[in-house]
Structure 1
Protein backbone atom coordinates (compact mmCIF):
# COMPACT_ATOMS: atom_id res chain seq x y z
CA UNK A 1 0.00 0.00 0.00
CA UNK A 2 1.37 3.38 -0.96
CA UNK A 3 1.76 5.97 1.75
CA UNK A 4 -0.87 8.23 0.21
CA UNK A 5 -3.44 5.48 0.81
CA UNK A 6 -2.53 4.90 4.45
CA UNK A 7 -4.24 6.13 7.61
CA UNK A 8 -1.42 6.77 10.05
CA UNK A 9 -1.66 7.08 13.83
CA UNK A 10 1.29 8.82 15.49
CA UNK A 11 1.19 8.73 19.28
CA UNK A 12 2.61 11.73 21.08
CA UNK A 13 2.44 13.72 17.85
CA UNK A 14 1.73 17.15 19.29
CA UNK A 15 5.39 18.04 19.70
CA UNK A 16 8.98 17.09 19.00
CA UNK A 17 9.73 14.02 16.93
CA UNK A 18 6.06 13.04 16.75
CA UNK A 19 5.26 16.38 15.15
CA UNK A 20 7.98 15.88 12.54
CA UNK A 21 6.68 12.37 11.77
CA UNK A 22 3.12 13.66 11.34
CA UNK A 23 4.33 16.41 9.02
CA UNK A 24 6.34 13.91 6.99
CA UNK A 25 3.43 11.53 6.45
CA UNK A 26 1.15 14.44 5.56
CA UNK A 27 3.71 15.61 3.01
CA UNK A 28 3.50 12.18 1.38
CA UNK A 29 -0.31 12.36 1.21
CA UNK A 30 -1.31 10.08 4.08
CA UNK A 31 -4.24 10.65 6.40
CA UNK A 32 -2.76 11.53 9.78
CA UNK A 33 -4.05 11.04 13.33
CA UNK A 34 -2.26 13.42 15.69
CA UNK A 35 -2.52 11.75 19.08
CA UNK A 36 -1.75 13.82 22.16
CA UNK A 37 -2.19 13.57 25.93
CA UNK A 38 -1.33 16.98 27.40
CA UNK A 39 -0.18 19.01 24.36
CA UNK A 40 -3.63 20.03 23.14
CA UNK A 41 -2.65 23.49 21.87
CA UNK A 42 0.33 22.21 19.92
CA UNK A 43 -1.67 19.31 18.48
CA UNK A 44 -4.45 21.67 17.39
CA UNK A 45 -1.94 24.00 15.76
CA UNK A 46 -0.37 21.11 13.88
CA UNK A 47 -3.79 19.94 12.71
CA UNK A 48 -4.50 23.42 11.36
CA UNK A 49 -1.13 23.47 9.62
CA UNK A 50 -1.67 20.12 7.92
CA UNK A 51 -5.31 20.71 7.04
CA UNK A 52 -8.16 18.36 6.15
CA UNK A 53 -6.05 15.23 5.93
CA UNK A 54 -5.33 15.35 9.68
CA UNK A 55 -7.31 14.97 12.89
CA UNK A 56 -6.09 15.64 16.44
CA UNK A 57 -7.34 13.20 19.06
CA UNK A 58 -6.59 13.06 22.77
CA UNK A 59 -5.87 9.71 24.41
CA UNK A 60 -3.57 8.38 27.09
CA UNK A 61 -2.03 5.40 25.30
CA UNK A 62 -1.68 3.58 28.63
CA UNK A 63 -5.49 3.43 28.88
CA UNK A 64 -6.95 0.80 26.53
CA UNK A 65 -10.45 2.30 26.59
CA UNK A 66 -9.15 5.71 25.53
CA UNK A 67 -7.11 4.08 22.76
CA UNK A 68 -10.12 2.14 21.49
CA UNK A 69 -12.24 5.29 21.45
CA UNK A 70 -9.51 7.13 19.52
CA UNK A 71 -9.41 4.42 16.84
CA UNK A 72 -13.21 4.48 16.54
CA UNK A 73 -13.28 8.26 16.13
CA UNK A 74 -10.52 8.15 13.54
CA UNK A 75 -12.28 5.42 11.57
CA UNK A 76 -15.51 7.42 11.57
CA UNK A 77 -13.69 10.63 10.55
CA UNK A 78 -11.73 9.15 7.64
CA UNK A 79 -14.21 6.45 6.66
CA UNK A 80 -11.56 3.73 6.88
CA UNK A 81 -9.48 2.10 9.60
CA UNK A 82 -5.92 2.75 10.71
CA UNK A 83 -3.34 0.99 8.54
CA UNK A 84 -0.17 2.31 10.14
CA UNK A 85 0.87 2.89 13.76
CA UNK A 86 3.87 4.87 14.97
CA UNK A 87 4.41 4.32 18.69
CA UNK A 88 6.25 7.50 19.62
CA UNK A 89 4.65 8.74 22.86
CA UNK A 90 7.10 9.60 25.64
CA UNK A 91 5.62 9.66 29.13
CA UNK A 92 6.89 12.26 31.61
CA UNK A 93 10.57 12.25 30.68
CA UNK A 94 13.24 14.88 30.05
CA UNK A 95 16.76 14.34 28.76
CA UNK A 96 18.45 16.19 31.60
CA UNK A 97 21.91 14.78 32.40
CA UNK A 98 22.27 17.02 35.44
CA UNK A 99 19.09 16.23 37.39
CA UNK A 100 18.60 12.61 36.27
CA UNK A 101 18.49 9.97 39.00
CA UNK A 102 21.66 7.92 39.41
CA UNK A 103 21.94 4.24 40.34
CA UNK A 104 21.49 4.95 44.05
CA UNK A 105 18.31 7.01 43.57
CA UNK A 106 16.42 5.39 40.70
CA UNK A 107 13.29 3.52 41.82
CA UNK A 108 11.23 0.68 40.44
CA UNK A 109 8.38 3.16 40.04
CA UNK A 110 10.60 5.17 37.67
CA UNK A 111 11.25 2.07 35.60
CA UNK A 112 7.60 1.11 35.68
CA UNK A 113 6.46 4.52 34.43
CA UNK A 114 8.69 4.28 31.35
CA UNK A 115 7.87 0.64 30.71
CA UNK A 116 4.16 1.46 30.77
CA UNK A 117 4.68 4.33 28.35
CA UNK A 118 6.78 2.28 25.94
CA UNK A 119 5.43 -1.26 26.19
CA UNK A 120 1.86 -0.89 27.47
CA UNK A 121 1.24 2.02 25.13
CA UNK A 122 2.48 0.07 22.10
CA UNK A 123 0.57 -3.05 23.15
CA UNK A 124 -2.67 -1.07 23.43
CA UNK A 125 -2.39 0.52 19.99
CA UNK A 126 -1.37 -2.71 18.28
CA UNK A 127 -4.09 -4.80 19.87
CA UNK A 128 -6.71 -2.17 19.06
CA UNK A 129 -5.71 -1.96 15.40
CA UNK A 130 -4.90 -5.61 14.85
CA UNK A 131 -8.29 -6.91 13.69
CA UNK A 132 -8.57 -4.31 10.92
CA UNK A 133 -4.98 -4.93 9.82
CA UNK A 134 -5.59 -8.68 9.64
CA UNK A 135 -8.75 -8.15 7.62
CA UNK A 136 -6.90 -5.87 5.20
CA UNK A 137 -3.90 -8.19 4.97
CA UNK A 138 -1.73 -5.13 5.54
CA UNK A 139 -0.26 -3.25 8.46
CA UNK A 140 2.76 -1.14 9.26
CA UNK A 141 3.91 -0.69 12.87
CA UNK A 142 6.96 1.43 13.67
CA UNK A 143 8.16 1.78 17.26
CA UNK A 144 10.45 4.62 18.29
CA UNK A 145 13.56 3.53 20.17
CA UNK A 146 16.88 5.15 21.03
CA UNK A 147 20.57 4.64 20.31
CA UNK A 148 21.20 4.96 24.05
CA UNK A 149 20.62 1.28 24.75
CA UNK A 150 23.48 0.51 22.37
CA UNK A 151 25.71 3.20 23.81
CA UNK A 152 24.45 4.80 27.06
CA UNK A 153 26.44 8.02 26.81
CA UNK A 154 24.22 9.23 29.65
CA UNK A 155 22.76 6.59 31.98
CA UNK A 156 19.06 7.37 31.72
CA UNK A 157 18.31 4.09 33.50
CA UNK A 158 14.51 3.98 33.27
CA UNK A 159 14.15 5.39 29.76
CA UNK A 160 16.92 3.34 28.18
CA UNK A 161 15.78 0.09 29.80
CA UNK A 162 12.23 0.61 28.54
CA UNK A 163 13.47 1.17 24.99
CA UNK A 164 15.65 -1.95 25.14
CA UNK A 165 12.54 -3.87 26.17
CA UNK A 166 10.68 -2.27 23.26
CA UNK A 167 13.13 -3.84 20.82
CA UNK A 168 12.33 -7.30 22.20
CA UNK A 169 8.63 -6.43 21.97
CA UNK A 170 9.13 -5.30 18.35
CA UNK A 171 10.81 -8.50 17.26
CA UNK A 172 8.29 -10.78 18.93
CA UNK A 173 5.43 -8.89 17.30
CA UNK A 174 7.22 -9.04 13.94
CA UNK A 175 7.61 -12.81 14.28
CA UNK A 176 3.92 -13.39 14.98
CA UNK A 177 2.26 -10.77 12.79
CA UNK A 178 4.24 -11.24 9.58
CA UNK A 179 1.88 -14.00 8.46
CA UNK A 180 -0.90 -11.41 8.24
CA UNK A 181 1.03 -8.98 6.03
CA UNK A 182 1.95 -6.78 9.02
CA UNK A 183 5.51 -5.57 9.49
CA UNK A 184 6.86 -4.34 12.82
CA UNK A 185 10.07 -2.33 12.96
CA UNK A 186 11.90 0.16 15.16
CA UNK A 187 13.64 3.44 14.41
CA UNK A 188 16.18 4.57 16.99
CA UNK A 189 17.34 8.15 16.87
CA UNK A 190 20.05 9.77 18.89
CA UNK A 191 19.87 13.03 20.76
CA UNK A 192 17.73 15.33 18.64
CA UNK A 193 18.18 19.07 18.42
CA UNK A 194 15.95 20.32 19.58
CA UNK A 195 12.72 18.93 20.99
CA UNK A 196 10.77 19.56 24.18
CA UNK A 197 12.27 16.41 25.66
CA UNK A 198 15.84 17.52 24.93
CA UNK A 199 15.33 21.16 25.95
CA UNK A 200 17.11 20.57 29.28
CA UNK A 201 20.21 19.24 27.55
CA UNK A 202 23.13 21.64 27.67
CA UNK A 203 24.92 23.08 24.66
CA UNK A 204 28.06 21.30 25.87
CA UNK A 205 26.37 17.90 25.50
CA UNK A 206 25.09 18.78 22.04
CA UNK A 207 28.61 19.86 21.07
CA UNK A 208 30.05 16.59 22.40
CA UNK A 209 27.59 14.56 20.32
CA UNK A 210 28.31 16.68 17.26
CA UNK A 211 32.06 16.19 17.53
CA UNK A 212 31.72 12.44 18.16
CA UNK A 213 29.46 11.81 15.16
CA UNK A 214 30.86 11.01 11.69
CA UNK A 215 28.49 13.50 10.04
CA UNK A 216 29.65 16.18 12.52
CA UNK A 217 26.16 17.36 13.35
CA UNK A 218 23.27 16.59 15.67
CA UNK A 219 20.40 14.70 14.04
CA UNK A 220 17.28 16.67 13.16
CA UNK A 221 13.82 15.24 13.96
CA UNK A 222 12.89 15.39 10.28
CA UNK A 223 15.71 12.97 9.46
CA UNK A 224 14.38 10.39 11.91
CA UNK A 225 10.88 11.00 10.55
CA UNK A 226 12.05 10.13 7.03
CA UNK A 227 13.34 6.77 8.29
CA UNK A 228 9.97 6.07 9.89
CA UNK A 229 8.25 6.85 6.60
CA UNK A 230 10.62 4.47 4.82
CA UNK A 231 9.41 1.56 6.98
CA UNK A 232 5.81 2.42 6.08
CA UNK A 233 6.59 2.62 2.36
CA UNK A 234 6.49 -0.11 -0.30
CA UNK A 235 10.30 -0.03 -0.44
CA UNK A 236 10.46 -1.61 3.05
CA UNK A 237 7.87 -4.32 2.36
CA UNK A 238 10.36 -7.13 3.06
CA UNK A 239 11.81 -5.58 6.23
CA UNK A 240 10.43 -6.60 9.59
CA UNK A 241 11.87 -7.04 13.07
CA UNK A 242 14.58 -4.49 12.28
CA UNK A 243 16.03 -1.62 14.32
CA UNK A 244 17.35 1.21 12.17
CA UNK A 245 19.66 3.58 14.04
CA UNK A 246 19.43 7.14 12.72
CA UNK A 247 22.03 9.22 14.55
CA UNK A 248 24.56 10.36 11.97
CA UNK A 249 26.71 7.29 12.54
CA UNK A 250 27.43 7.78 16.23
CA UNK A 251 26.40 4.17 16.87
CA UNK A 252 27.25 1.66 14.17
CA UNK A 253 25.95 -1.88 14.07
Structure 2
Protein backbone atom coordinates (compact mmCIF):
# COMPACT_ATOMS: atom_id res chain seq x y z
CA UNK A 1 0.00 0.00 0.00
CA UNK A 2 1.26 3.46 -0.94
CA UNK A 3 0.32 6.12 1.59
CA UNK A 4 1.16 9.06 -0.63
CA UNK A 5 1.94 9.81 -4.26
CA UNK A 6 3.14 13.28 -5.32
CA UNK A 7 0.72 15.26 -7.45
CA UNK A 8 3.13 15.25 -10.38
CA UNK A 9 2.96 11.44 -10.48
CA UNK A 10 -0.84 11.24 -10.46
CA UNK A 11 -3.44 10.90 -13.19
CA UNK A 12 -6.42 12.98 -12.08
CA UNK A 13 -9.98 12.99 -13.40
CA UNK A 14 -11.82 16.30 -12.97
CA UNK A 15 -15.50 16.06 -13.84
CA UNK A 16 -17.04 19.20 -15.27
CA UNK A 17 -13.48 20.34 -15.86
CA UNK A 18 -14.06 22.36 -19.02
CA UNK A 19 -15.48 25.48 -17.44
CA UNK A 20 -16.32 27.26 -14.20
CA UNK A 21 -14.69 26.02 -11.02
CA UNK A 22 -13.58 22.82 -12.74
CA UNK A 23 -11.46 24.79 -15.18
CA UNK A 24 -9.59 26.38 -12.29
CA UNK A 25 -9.08 23.01 -10.57
CA UNK A 26 -7.65 21.59 -13.79
CA UNK A 27 -5.30 24.56 -14.18
CA UNK A 28 -4.07 24.20 -10.59
CA UNK A 29 -3.37 20.48 -11.06
CA UNK A 30 -1.54 21.07 -14.33
CA UNK A 31 0.51 23.78 -12.66
CA UNK A 32 1.67 21.20 -10.13
CA UNK A 33 2.64 18.72 -12.85
CA UNK A 34 -0.27 16.28 -12.75
CA UNK A 35 -1.70 14.48 -15.75
CA UNK A 36 -5.36 15.45 -16.02
CA UNK A 37 -8.46 14.08 -17.68
CA UNK A 38 -10.69 17.08 -18.42
CA UNK A 39 -14.22 15.71 -18.41
CA UNK A 40 -16.96 17.76 -20.07
CA UNK A 41 -20.50 17.37 -21.32
CA UNK A 42 -21.26 20.46 -23.42
CA UNK A 43 -18.10 22.58 -23.24
CA UNK A 44 -16.04 20.80 -25.88
CA UNK A 45 -14.11 23.81 -27.19
CA UNK A 46 -13.22 25.15 -23.75
CA UNK A 47 -12.21 21.72 -22.48
CA UNK A 48 -10.00 21.06 -25.49
CA UNK A 49 -8.42 24.51 -25.28
CA UNK A 50 -7.60 23.85 -21.63
CA UNK A 51 -6.12 20.44 -22.43
CA UNK A 52 -4.03 22.02 -25.18
CA UNK A 53 -2.27 24.23 -22.61
CA UNK A 54 -0.42 21.16 -21.35
CA UNK A 55 0.24 19.01 -24.39
CA UNK A 56 0.92 15.43 -23.41
CA UNK A 57 -0.33 15.88 -19.85
CA UNK A 58 -4.02 16.53 -20.43
CA UNK A 59 -6.84 15.17 -22.52
CA UNK A 60 -10.46 16.28 -22.88
CA UNK A 61 -13.08 13.53 -22.81
CA UNK A 62 -16.83 13.91 -23.16
CA UNK A 63 -19.03 11.87 -20.82
CA UNK A 64 -22.26 12.35 -18.92
CA UNK A 65 -21.22 11.46 -15.38
CA UNK A 66 -24.73 10.24 -14.55
CA UNK A 67 -24.28 7.50 -17.20
CA UNK A 68 -22.26 4.68 -15.64
CA UNK A 69 -21.39 3.12 -19.00
CA UNK A 70 -20.12 6.44 -20.38
CA UNK A 71 -18.01 6.98 -17.27
CA UNK A 72 -16.44 3.53 -17.53
CA UNK A 73 -15.64 4.17 -21.19
CA UNK A 74 -14.05 7.53 -20.33
CA UNK A 75 -11.90 5.96 -17.62
CA UNK A 76 -10.77 3.13 -19.90
CA UNK A 77 -9.93 5.58 -22.69
CA UNK A 78 -7.92 7.83 -20.39
CA UNK A 79 -6.01 5.01 -18.70
CA UNK A 80 -5.10 3.50 -22.06
CA UNK A 81 -3.98 6.90 -23.37
CA UNK A 82 -1.73 7.67 -20.40
CA UNK A 83 -0.68 4.11 -19.65
CA UNK A 84 -1.53 4.45 -15.96
CA UNK A 85 -4.48 4.25 -13.60
CA UNK A 86 -6.56 7.21 -12.54
CA UNK A 87 -5.80 7.48 -8.85
CA UNK A 88 -7.42 10.83 -8.05
CA UNK A 89 -10.95 11.98 -8.84
CA UNK A 90 -12.40 15.45 -8.32
CA UNK A 91 -16.19 15.19 -8.46
CA UNK A 92 -17.05 18.69 -9.55
CA UNK A 93 -19.64 18.23 -12.34
CA UNK A 94 -22.82 20.20 -11.71
CA UNK A 95 -26.14 19.55 -13.46
CA UNK A 96 -27.59 22.60 -15.20
CA UNK A 97 -28.00 25.11 -12.38
CA UNK A 98 -27.87 28.85 -11.83
CA UNK A 99 -27.42 30.53 -8.46
CA UNK A 100 -30.27 32.96 -8.96
CA UNK A 101 -32.39 33.31 -5.84
CA UNK A 102 -35.24 34.95 -7.75
CA UNK A 103 -35.68 32.00 -10.10
CA UNK A 104 -35.13 29.11 -7.67
CA UNK A 105 -37.98 26.71 -6.89
CA UNK A 106 -39.62 27.72 -3.61
CA UNK A 107 -41.21 25.39 -1.06
CA UNK A 108 -44.56 25.52 -2.85
CA UNK A 109 -43.12 24.96 -6.35
CA UNK A 110 -40.32 22.49 -5.59
CA UNK A 111 -40.84 19.14 -7.33
CA UNK A 112 -39.18 15.75 -7.16
CA UNK A 113 -37.96 16.38 -10.70
CA UNK A 114 -35.90 19.33 -9.38
CA UNK A 115 -34.42 17.13 -6.67
CA UNK A 116 -33.90 14.13 -8.93
CA UNK A 117 -31.98 16.17 -11.50
CA UNK A 118 -29.51 17.34 -8.87
CA UNK A 119 -29.21 13.95 -7.15
CA UNK A 120 -28.63 12.24 -10.48
CA UNK A 121 -25.85 14.58 -11.53
CA UNK A 122 -24.18 15.10 -8.15
CA UNK A 123 -24.63 11.88 -6.17
CA UNK A 124 -24.99 9.32 -8.95
CA UNK A 125 -22.18 11.04 -10.84
CA UNK A 126 -19.81 10.70 -7.89
CA UNK A 127 -20.81 7.07 -7.39
CA UNK A 128 -20.15 6.31 -11.05
CA UNK A 129 -16.68 7.86 -11.11
CA UNK A 130 -15.75 6.19 -7.82
CA UNK A 131 -16.79 2.74 -9.01
CA UNK A 132 -15.15 3.14 -12.41
CA UNK A 133 -11.77 4.15 -10.96
CA UNK A 134 -11.81 1.89 -7.92
CA UNK A 135 -10.06 -1.10 -9.55
CA UNK A 136 -7.07 1.04 -10.52
CA UNK A 137 -6.87 2.60 -7.08
CA UNK A 138 -7.07 -0.79 -5.39
CA UNK A 139 -4.30 -2.15 -7.61
CA UNK A 140 -2.10 0.81 -6.65
CA UNK A 141 -3.05 0.71 -2.98
CA UNK A 142 -3.58 4.45 -3.30
CA UNK A 143 -6.45 6.74 -4.19
CA UNK A 144 -7.89 10.19 -3.60
CA UNK A 145 -11.57 11.01 -4.06
CA UNK A 146 -12.31 14.70 -3.63
CA UNK A 147 -15.95 15.77 -3.69
CA UNK A 148 -16.98 19.36 -4.21
CA UNK A 149 -19.61 20.50 -1.69
CA UNK A 150 -21.22 23.71 -0.50
CA UNK A 151 -21.50 25.71 2.71
CA UNK A 152 -25.23 26.11 2.03
CA UNK A 153 -26.18 23.03 4.04
CA UNK A 154 -24.62 24.74 7.07
CA UNK A 155 -25.70 28.27 6.25
CA UNK A 156 -28.64 28.24 3.79
CA UNK A 157 -28.54 31.98 3.24
CA UNK A 158 -30.41 31.28 0.00
CA UNK A 159 -32.52 28.08 0.24
CA UNK A 160 -31.64 26.29 -2.98
CA UNK A 161 -33.53 23.19 -1.90
CA UNK A 162 -32.60 20.82 -4.73
CA UNK A 163 -28.92 21.69 -5.06
CA UNK A 164 -28.31 21.81 -1.30
CA UNK A 165 -30.06 18.50 -0.60
CA UNK A 166 -27.95 16.74 -3.24
CA UNK A 167 -24.71 18.18 -1.90
CA UNK A 168 -25.70 17.17 1.65
CA UNK A 169 -26.24 13.62 0.42
CA UNK A 170 -22.81 13.76 -1.22
CA UNK A 171 -21.29 14.71 2.13
CA UNK A 172 -22.88 11.64 3.72
CA UNK A 173 -21.53 9.49 0.90
CA UNK A 174 -18.10 11.06 1.45
CA UNK A 175 -18.13 9.98 5.08
CA UNK A 176 -19.43 6.44 4.52
CA UNK A 177 -17.10 5.79 1.59
CA UNK A 178 -14.14 6.91 3.69
CA UNK A 179 -14.85 3.99 6.06
CA UNK A 180 -15.23 1.48 3.26
CA UNK A 181 -12.21 2.56 1.24
CA UNK A 182 -9.75 3.60 3.93
CA UNK A 183 -8.31 0.09 4.39
CA UNK A 184 -7.49 0.11 0.68
CA UNK A 185 -5.35 3.25 1.00
CA UNK A 186 -8.04 5.49 -0.52
CA UNK A 187 -9.08 8.72 1.16
CA UNK A 188 -12.42 10.42 0.54
CA UNK A 189 -12.90 14.07 1.43
CA UNK A 190 -15.02 17.08 0.53
CA UNK A 191 -14.10 20.69 -0.14
CA UNK A 192 -17.06 23.02 0.32
CA UNK A 193 -17.25 26.57 -0.94
CA UNK A 194 -19.71 29.36 -0.75
CA UNK A 195 -20.45 31.79 -3.51
CA UNK A 196 -17.35 32.18 -5.69
CA UNK A 197 -16.43 35.33 -7.58
CA UNK A 198 -17.05 34.43 -10.32
CA UNK A 199 -17.98 31.17 -12.06
CA UNK A 200 -20.51 30.39 -14.76
CA UNK A 201 -22.98 29.26 -12.11
CA UNK A 202 -22.64 32.49 -10.10
CA UNK A 203 -22.70 34.83 -13.09
CA UNK A 204 -26.39 35.58 -12.49
CA UNK A 205 -25.80 36.54 -8.85
CA UNK A 206 -26.50 40.25 -8.16
CA UNK A 207 -23.56 42.38 -7.04
CA UNK A 208 -25.40 43.23 -3.82
CA UNK A 209 -25.23 39.56 -2.80
CA UNK A 210 -21.47 39.42 -3.39
CA UNK A 211 -21.07 42.57 -1.28
CA UNK A 212 -23.22 41.19 1.53
CA UNK A 213 -21.25 37.97 1.72
CA UNK A 214 -17.92 39.78 1.58
CA UNK A 215 -18.97 42.00 4.49
CA UNK A 216 -19.96 38.91 6.52
CA UNK A 217 -16.62 37.10 6.22
CA UNK A 218 -13.62 37.67 8.49
CA UNK A 219 -11.51 38.24 5.37
CA UNK A 220 -14.06 40.78 4.06
CA UNK A 221 -14.00 39.35 0.55
CA UNK A 222 -15.53 36.63 -1.55
CA UNK A 223 -13.37 33.58 -2.25
CA UNK A 224 -12.09 33.25 -5.81
CA UNK A 225 -12.16 30.02 -7.86
CA UNK A 226 -8.35 30.07 -7.88
CA UNK A 227 -8.23 30.12 -4.08
CA UNK A 228 -10.74 27.31 -3.87
CA UNK A 229 -8.81 25.21 -6.39
CA UNK A 230 -5.66 25.51 -4.29
CA UNK A 231 -7.53 24.00 -1.34
CA UNK A 232 -8.53 21.05 -3.53
CA UNK A 233 -4.83 20.42 -4.16
CA UNK A 234 -4.31 19.78 -0.44
CA UNK A 235 -6.44 16.63 -0.58
CA UNK A 236 -4.61 15.40 -3.67
CA UNK A 237 -1.21 16.02 -2.09
CA UNK A 238 0.85 13.85 0.29
CA UNK A 239 0.21 16.44 3.00
CA UNK A 240 -3.33 15.06 3.45
CA UNK A 241 -2.31 11.40 3.65
CA UNK A 242 -3.83 10.96 7.12
CA UNK A 243 -7.04 12.94 6.45
CA UNK A 244 -10.23 11.22 5.32
CA UNK A 245 -13.97 11.61 5.76
CA UNK A 246 -13.59 15.35 6.28
CA UNK A 247 -15.33 18.44 4.92
CA UNK A 248 -13.10 21.48 4.51
CA UNK A 249 -15.06 24.72 4.15
CA UNK A 250 -13.29 27.29 1.99
CA UNK A 251 -15.36 30.47 2.14
CA UNK A 252 -13.22 33.12 3.83
CA UNK A 253 -14.41 32.09 7.29
CA UNK A 254 -18.12 32.73 6.73
CA UNK A 255 -19.02 29.27 8.07
CA UNK A 256 -17.18 27.80 11.03
CA UNK A 257 -17.03 24.03 10.47
- TM-score normalised over the length of structure 1: 0.99
Instruction: For residues 197-233 of structure 1, give each alpha carbon's deviation from its aligned partner in whole angstroms, at most 9, with x where no partner exists.
Output: 0011000111111111110111001111111110011
Say whether 1:73 aligns with 2:77: yes
Corresponding position of 1:200 = 204
Distance 1:42 1:152 in 2: 32
Shift, 1:115, TM fit? 0.6
Matched, 1:23 2:27: yes
**Structure 2 equivalent of residue 235 of structure 1:** 239
Q: 2:54 & 2:107 partners in 1: Cα distance?
A: 43
CA distance in 2, matches of 1:123, 1:222: 26
Select the residue among 47, 50, 60 that pairs with 1:56. Answer: 60
**Runs of at least 5 residues in structure 1 that lack an aligned partner in the other structure:** none
Is the CA contact (8 Å cut-off) linking 1:23 and 1:50 kept in structure 2? no
Instruction: Please state whether the residue corresponding to 1:163 is helix, strand or coil.
Output: helix
Instruction: Provide the aligned length of Structure 1 versus Structure 2.
Output: 253
1:167-186 mapped onto 2 (5 Å cutoff): 167-186=171-190
| Alpha-carbon offset, residue 192 of structure 1 | 0.4
Equivalent in 152, 155, 176 of residue 156 of structure 2: 152
**Distance in structure 2 (CA, Å) of the matches to 1:104 and 1:124:** 32
Which whole-Å CA distance do the structure 2 matches of 1:162 and 1:189 have between them? 15
1:116-162 C-alpha deviation (Å, 9 max, x unpaired): 11110000000001111111100000000000000000000000010
Measure the CA separation in 2 of the matches of 1:241 and 1:193. Answer: 27
- The Cα shift of 1:181 comes to 0.2
2: CA distance between counterparts of 1:160 and 1:51? 37
Q: Which residue of 2 aligns with 1:47?
A: 51
Q: CA RMSD in A?
A: 0.6
TM-superposition CA deviations, 1:64-118 (whole Å, max 9, x none): 1110110011011111110100000000111011111111001011001101111
Q: Deviations over 1:5-55 (max 9, x none)?
A: 000000000111100100000000000000000111111111122332100
In the alignment, which of 31, 38, 52 is matched to residue 34 of structure 1?
Answer: 38
The alignment status of 1:114 with 2:114, answered yes or no, reads: no
| Alignment partner of 2:86 out of 82, 89, 96 | 82
Q: 1:236 Cα shift?
A: 0.2
Q: Secondary structure at the match of 1:50?
A: coil
Distance 1:201 1:207 in 2: 11
